Amino acid sequence: MTGKGVLLVGPSGTGKTALAYAIARELGKDTPFTVINGSEIYSTELKKTEVLMQAVRKSIGARIKQVRPVYQGVVKDLKVKVGRSRINPYAVMPREVQITLATKDDERTLSVGEEVAAQIYQQGIRKGDVIWIDAETGRIVKEGRAKSFEGAKSYDIEVERLVDIPAGPVRTQKEISFTVTLHDLDMNFAAQKLSFGLMFGLFTEREISDDVRRSVDEWVKEKINQGIAELIPGVLFIDDVHMLDIEAFSFLTKALESDLSPILILATNRGLTKIRGTDVESPHGIPLDLLDRLLIIQTKPYSENEIREIIKIRAEELDVAIDEAGIEELTKIGAQTSLRYAIQLIEPASIVAKRNGRQIITAEDVRYAAGLFMDVKKSINYVKEYESLMLK
């Protein structure tokens, strides 16, 4: 699906945004996922195309693999030397740590300085934790608690992950992978040029130049060819896409044709309407040349059975008890007005029930809460009835 797009079309409250978030969750935590609204591109500081380009670059990731020299093992012993803080003389800070790491086959005692000692203090590392320390940068990563490690204090309830004690030597080579977006790399490369430019008093803009992005693309392709990086196409979700204008649509069409492009998910609740910035009418307010590149998925209003099930799920999420009559009353209101309105009535109905000395919401509580507020249809009728008394 890389370089392709999906358009979700349907009335308000039919789950378009929820579907986009569900897709992001299914793709995994490392998959870049960017959400913007169509109106967000009209920034006073950046050009429309720059806002969209940054959104596209945030939606493409590069998983970089490195083989680093590390010290790994379970913390067998920990001795901390503390001293007065340079900032606050009344506070003490770790100055030096003597740490003993052990694997199934090896054991080693290390003396580490102030920066590494501060990490040990901040992460709350204690005897029985499995960690590894980057031998070159001093970065510490805590992997969890060692299973049944002798001499380590344990608790009946542990929130930390239990892991096996590593095997092999304490000092070893470890493959480390991390994911960064192309936008992160753009900012990094731009910052390097900025620091160089400031030495000579050069003026720099907030926008990232094409030269910087070209350098990043070449660097990423080089790392991929070397086998130490992997490209991860993510998802760019643009809600209320009908708010974009003809220039923005032209840019998105070009972005889909690029070698490095994310999966594009668009959502709109508009039918036949004018393309913003023109007098041309088009389905969903999107130019036909871009529409032709999209797979269009329709979302329809929920049936009564679906509304009933969603209300039950929502009540469980809110930890609210509703009897069957109350659920039926909310279902009826949802079918007559909208699912969103029915869901919004759950919490007011819960407050009404508690004031009446009940922990379970009844149909009577729902009707009372519904009488306190207006849905869209009631609001329209109210405006028409008192139109002569309202400002225009």
pLDDT-derived band at 353 (thresholds 50, 70, 90) equals very high
CATH architecture of structural domain 69-177: Beta Barrel (2.40)
What are the structure tokens assigned to 388, written together?
A: 């002569």
Task: Tell me which DSSP letter residue 345 carries.
Answer: T
pLDDT of 354: 93
Strand, helix or coil for residue 360 = strand
Residue 345 · residue 370 · CB < 8 Å: yes
Q: 115 or 331: which carries more pLDDT confidence? A: 331
For 252, residues 6+ apart whose C-beta sits below 8 A from its C-beta are: 5, 52, 244, 264, 290
Task: Please state the domain extents for the chain.
Answer: 5-61+232-298, 69-177, 304-381
Residue 229's pLDDT is 87
Which residues are registered as beta bridge partners of 63? 179, 230
Q: Residue 141 to residues 124, 125, 151, 237: CA-CA distances in angstroms?
A: 12, 10, 22, 33
Among residues of the chain, what percentage have pLDDT more than 70?
91
pLDDT tens, position by position, 72-88:
999 888 888 877 766 66
Please check whether residue 61 is in contact with residue 232, taking contact to mean a CB–CB distance below 8 angstroms.
Answer: yes
Q: The domain 5-61+232-298: what is its CATH number?
A: 3.40.50.300
pLDDT tens digits, one per residue of 307-322: 999 999 999 988 999 9
Query: For the residues of 126-168, what is the DSSP string, one character each?
Result: -TTEEEEEETTT--EEEEEEETT-TT----SS--SPEEPPP-S
Q: Which residue's structure tokens are 């529409």?
A: 291
E strand or H helix at 112: strand 107-112
Task: Specify the pLDDT at position 201.
Answer: 46
Residue 198's pLDDT band (cuts 50, 70, 90): very low
Rounded to an integer, what distance in angstroms lies between the CA atom of residue 359 and that of residue 266? Answer: 42
Q: Does residue 110 contact residue 138 with C-beta atoms inside 8 Å? A: no
User: Tell me, which fold does domain 304-381 have in CATH?
Assistant: Helicase, Ruva Protein; domain 3 (1.10.8)
Q: Is the pLDDT of residue 202 over 50?
A: no
Q: What pLDDT score was predicted for residue 329?
A: 93
Give the C-alpha separation, 354 to 350, whole Å. Answer: 6
The pLDDT confidence band at residue 156, using thresholds 50, 70 and 90, is low
